[in-house]
Amino acid sequence: MTHNTVLPIGITMGDAAGIGPEIILKSFAAGLPYPAVVYGDALILKQQAKDLGIALPIISIASPRDIPDQGIGVLNRWQPLPTIAYGQVQAQAGRGAYEYLCHAIDDAIAQKIRAIVTAPLHKDALLAGGIDAPGHTEILAQRTGTTDFAMMLSNPELRVILVTIHVPITAVSPLLSIDKELRTIRLAHQACLQAGIKRPRVAVAGLNPHAGENGRFGNEEALFIEPAILAARNEGIDATGPWPGDTIFMRARRGEFDIVVAQYHDQGLIPVKYLGVEQGVNTTIGLPFIRTSVDHGTAYDIAGQGIADPTSLQVAFSTALQMTRGVSHQP
């Protein structure tokens, strides 16, 4: 055991019944490019390491500074989990995933870790555990008191940021406003700057087919999206649109734009995930620290089989490291 002066990256274990523990263990076994600690359950990780034939020591630690010389340091201020059945919604696993995330958030706010990388949680398990939250993004925003935030999905070919996230499609239009559009465009610009793009080109998708076609298919573009784009341009942001949703992602993929502002969840996530979840990263923009995540769920259908691909977690880790290049390594 060593008391390290390096700020590690914190990885949250997510739902113990899913593939989170497996992809974390495989990532450590493959070698991470920077020190990390896990917020999760040491006994669960030990059992999965045994099942996977991974001989890394799993060591419970009291502080992120206590990075072990060898093996995986695990932080857990919550109770140990009971025996967990793979691939099933379980209240204890859901509550545990929430508690690990909250622990990591608190340590990130206190600048005890450099960034947070999250393994997947399951919304039904969260609810069974007494947590009524639609996902990571909302928990992160609530616990940090963040009001201006957005979910960005990215891979080597696309960056997409969302105006609305986990809401029914019928609720999207009533949630739109000039202010909400403008805030998301600003966050898109910020995300690109964090990625090292000096002059970000922000493309804004329309809500309706053909971006409304001058009001023929809807007026949200004229009421909310166009005024927000104009306001952003007056602030010096290179924002354009609204562009039709059926071509904007193709154009961004070809290099015309650096990021796309999508109006709702599936409008933005379908094109990103169609290109493959293996290289996908979910980043929450606007938080007081960097948070990245895998671009997939708990994969209950393959949990416990030893066949989960850790690539998305590894890419999320590398992305968090890249985005925190300007952050001090000293606690």
Can you give the CATH number for the domain in which 187 is found?
A: 3.40.718.10
Model confidence pLDDT, tens digit, residues 195-223: 889 999 999 999 999 988 888 889 999 99
Highest mean pLDDT among 190-194, 244-248, 277-281, 283-287: 244-248
Q: What range defines the domain where residue 1 resides?
A: 1-149+287-331
Instruction: Give the contacts of 278 (CB within 8 A, at least 6 positions apart).
Output: 309, 311, 312, 315
Which one, of 35, 101, 100, lies nearest residue 71 by Cα? 35
Which one, of 190, 198, 205, 204, lies nearest residue 285 by Cα? 190
User: What type of residue is 310?
Assistant: P
Do 45 and 187 fall into the same domain?
no
Does some domain include residue 280? no
pLDDT of residue 2: 53
**Among 275, 307, 322, residue at a domain's last position:** 275
Q: Which structure tokens are listed for 150?
A: 């957005």
C-alpha 43/C-alpha 60 separation (Å) is 9
Q: How many CB atoms lie within 10 A of CB 307?
A: 10
- Residue 3 above 70 pLDDT? no
Do 142 and 180 fall into the same domain?
no
Do 143 and 291 fall into the same domain?
yes
pTM of the model: 0.85
Do 85 and 61 fall into the same domain?
yes
pLDDT of residue 46: 97
